[in-house]
Structure 1
Amino acid sequence: MNQNEYEQALVKVKEKIRLAEGTDMQERMEEQIRQWFLECREANDVFPEFPSVEEGGSQWLFKLKPPELLAQEEEERIAAERRRKEKELRESGKKIEIEKRKKREPEGWFMSPSAFIQDLTDENWRNRDESTNAFQRHDEEIIKNDKRAQLELEIRAHVDDLMRQELRNLKIAIDGQRQKRINKRKVKKPKVKRKKGGLKDLTKDRTLESVYEELVIEDVVKKPQNVNLDQYYGEYSYLGTTLKESMIEPQPSLSDVKQLVTLYGILPLGSPDVHARASLTRSILLAGPSGTGKKMLVHAICTETGANLFDLTAENIMGKYTGKEATRLLVNMVFKAARLLQPSVIMVDQCEKMFGKKIPKTDKTDPKRLRRELPRAVRTIKQGDRILLVGCTHAPFDAKVKPFCKLYDRIILLPRPDYASRYLIWKVVIVKNGGVLTDALDISSLAKVSDGYTMGMMDRACKEVLTERRLALLDKAPLAASELIVPLSRMDPVFLEEEEAYKKWYRKTPLGRKKMKAIEEASVSQKKTAKPRHK
């Protein structure tokens, strides 16, 4: 019964569309083709040749421009026209008129559509069996879309015949040309352009095994430490939303750092499907004070994804592959092995020295030797290459901002732990080093006193206190918070001045400037929309 209704609907809907939209379709197609005639004549002083039936007719003219692109071009044209009018008004001094004409943009951040929605739809709904559902009838809107496309092809074939004849008449009337026999166009083979910026393989005559063996011998290939991302302890910033509502930018938490490392590092490297669909991230920069776990995160990325680890730190390659040609060979070998043995992570510690403003004469590592070859090699990473450059720095403000930020696509600031994270870290590191959590150990007070100290400092304090002798006495003398404060007092914490230096540097980066601009605009907008208080 439903099948018969569906077949009848196919015929009825098509005829309904033909009567309602057929004339408009034909007029629209004719107008587009005539516009193409005029544009070609204006550009070349002659009328064009109409595409043959084999080439697809007039459909060939517009197939390179999908509706989305045409809509985008229309929006750009409207925006350009609006800017031109605003300029004229600005020159005439009519600033109030400009403000009225400007469209107010929606505030806030909007999440872009996920690339995996279509897969979920196909898996759950496209092949769903509805054969036993008697109430499942046809959807007329879906039929309309299909039949509208079929009808458009039929009308286009008719329009093409009319426009070919019209083009012949135009050529005779305007150009004085007689219709010549139209030969089939010869399809020219596209010229193969030489790729620019690609890495020339300097080891064509060598096998992958020999290249990898040499990198292992030279200690460029490292064995990653068995560290999981779960071992990077940190809590969420529960006050973040409240601070944002008060127009105060909250400090990122250690949990935010884990989330970003997962998003930009682990997921693209660990899953080829995610890497193919997500935006390409060639490199990330981990910037933060000493002891915040930058190297730990690098090893966690390798452990979670099973990636190879290549260490191009200046100190690690000091005295190896010296000279311009040898340095180029080193980078070439590393990226060749990394590309053939994906996933791969290339680490550069103290990477700020590569673009340092001033290198001390006592530094014999020659940190600037890779400043040209490494960015050139990173640019060759394409979609599908599961290769990630990870830079670690505790002094990003010592580097030149422009080339430094140009090399790294993403910048992740590693802050000093907040109270919630310190509370969690103390509990974990004490137990990890053999300690026992008792009522005599005031973790809350310890977390408050240790403000400014990093995860590494807390771990070192536990190691100093929880010796074998002290562990043996835990049953008689439980661990107290005062014991852990003593070794902490001998360490230098992350002072507020140092933390402010990181924030100041981040505001100079391209992303930081955009973020500050967005905050300022939101603040101004909120002040304008705020209602005045009644006295």
Structure 2
Amino acid sequence: MSFEYYTKWWIKAKQKFEDLYAKDDAFMKKQRPLKDRKLTSKLLGGLYVNYSLIVQEIDACLDQMAQPQKRNTIRKLMDAATVRLLELNNEMRNIEISEYYYVDGNLIEMKLVPYDVEILHPALFYPRPINVEDMWQKIQKGEKIFIPPEPVIEEQVEGLDQEAAQGGDSAAEGAGVEKKEEVVAEAAEKTDPAGGEEGEKKVKDKKDKRPKQPAFQIEQKQLTPEEIKEMERKKALEPGAAKKMPPPPVPEVTNPAANIIQNIWRGYSTRQWVKRKENDRRLLIGMNEPSWKSKEAFERFEKNLNVRREYRDQCIREYVEAIDQERTRILRVVAPGLFEDIGDEIREWFRQFYIRARCFDKIPEEEKGGTVLVIRCETFTPEQYLDDFEKRRKEKLKAKGQDKQKAKELKAKLKKQEADKKKKEAERKKKEAEAKQKKKKKMDEYEYEYFDTTSKPLYNQGAQEHREIWDKINDFENPFEKHYMDMITDEKCYEVQLEVRRQVDELMRIELELLQDALEEDKWKAKGKKGKRKKKNKKKGKKKGKKGKKGKKDPTGDRTTEDLFQELVDNGIIRTYPCVRLREYFGDFSYKNWDLRVKDFDPPATLLDVRQAVIMNCIMPLGVEVMKRPKSVLIAGPRQTGKHLLANAIFTETQCVLFDLSPEVTFEKYTGAKGMKMLIHLINKMTRLLAPSIIYFEAAEKNILQENS
């Protein structure tokens, strides 16, 4: 599939998603609380099916799209659709009061099958940093990423020097031996260069001239009639054999026969051609499905997907390199001039403020915007500053004698407010208790209220970004899906400007303090006072937290990531895993479970129900940052039921770094209390650096059995 195909597919998928989200939003606003559990399941099941189809389409486009900047925007829309799908999944589980639920009724209405809503290839995971990904690729190939330097011992160095001193004599002796061997070889060549070979050839020729006699007598085989006829036919075809010419054809007989055969054949071939064209048209518009595809077709399709994925990864690498190079260029070329320009603007503000007000205003805090507010003229002018200063001075003088009275009034007011608050709280609790008493429901009653989805901010952000940037760009003008350099330049210029401005703010605050001190010194001298003015001690803010408590020291702070990575690999804690896909977990859905669930039965789950539960509860939540991830997952069952296959499928689909903490792996490693602390520290540190990562325990019950025994 080509770039044009996926681009058109994305345009259609985006339109479908916008329509579905608008319909979902309007439905949630208008719908009243539902009391029928089956009706609620049907309504949410329809939304679940539609979102499953949309997620699959966006997932396919995101997987094969190589333009790195557009991928970031599509990623936000993908996250929004996935979050909404997982919310519906949780609601369906709560409605059915089971880990498994069935939407066969909605599938029948939409003329679908359960396989159509199963997401087997979720491309949800953010790529790791390039250096981390390169390390993981080397580990998977069996290469080492860190080799500790060997310590050099003085005794070894002295031994090497002695060997080097003795090496001259031994080299001379070796040269003499080599010369002797060369002389012997030359003498052998002069005597008889090929004498032995010629003698052997003569003996062989004599042996070949001897008459060969069969070891046994061959019996004559009796020919069959068919073989005799075949021999006669071959003799008849020989050049010397007499040929019998067939009688000449009669045109009155052959011509009508040929016309009939031609008409029948042309009609048959035309009908077959029309049938093939109609079948192709139906396949193209989706009316028919191919009954069978060869294995080569699937392999060719997968190969094409992998080719585009490799090209996608290459484009992402080029994009990251372009970002680094552009940032370096801006810091080298633009940042020095920008630093001076911002500093000159702030100094000019100091000067103008002093000329008009004979004092200096404070620089706004960094959290509020810093010197950006000064450039935007969002701070006080000198006149406004003086008016505000005079107003505060008068208020301070006026309120000097009223502080005690105000304190009493404030205390009484707070006391009254607290009493009113307690009274209202008691009334509220009383009303809630009465309402609960009135609304006592029976066990079979149910009420569902729609909630505001958490996917709305993600959707709004992604839709707005796509509307402002990508709707104005013609994707077909960039068929190779390269990054847009002007967008990188604008983004990095803005980031560098903010970074430089923070540095300038720190410098300007220091200069402002010096100017304030100089101004106070001038005022001190203007009053005619002698001696040095005592500087006011600045009140230092109290540090929060316990006194003297410092942050924990990193015991591996002096070691590189490669060193720690290689240590865990050597100890077998980080290991590779077989590439297993979810589609290799074979099974089928049960097509009667929905009918049984409608009749209030709880049927057992099938193998593909388990696979679907693994997708929705284990794999997809790990791919979205805003989703609440499962803290742990237990895969339990009897032997030969596919537990390891499901675990390896989770590892493969999430493309994670696997930390194996099974008892067999950690036995006699990192022993003792210090060793255990170091292991926990390494796991906590490296799982965050190498994310996405999964901690795996095999036969976890063995630890529990040992503790209980």
TM bucket normalised to smaller: 0.3 to 0.5
- Taking structure 2 as the reference length, what is the TM-score of the superposition? 0.27
**Higher relative contact order (CA closer than 8 Å, sequence separation 6+):** 2
Name whichever structure is richer in helix by fraction.
2
TM-score (norm 1): 0.35
Which structure is larger by alpha-carbon Rg, 1 or 2?
2
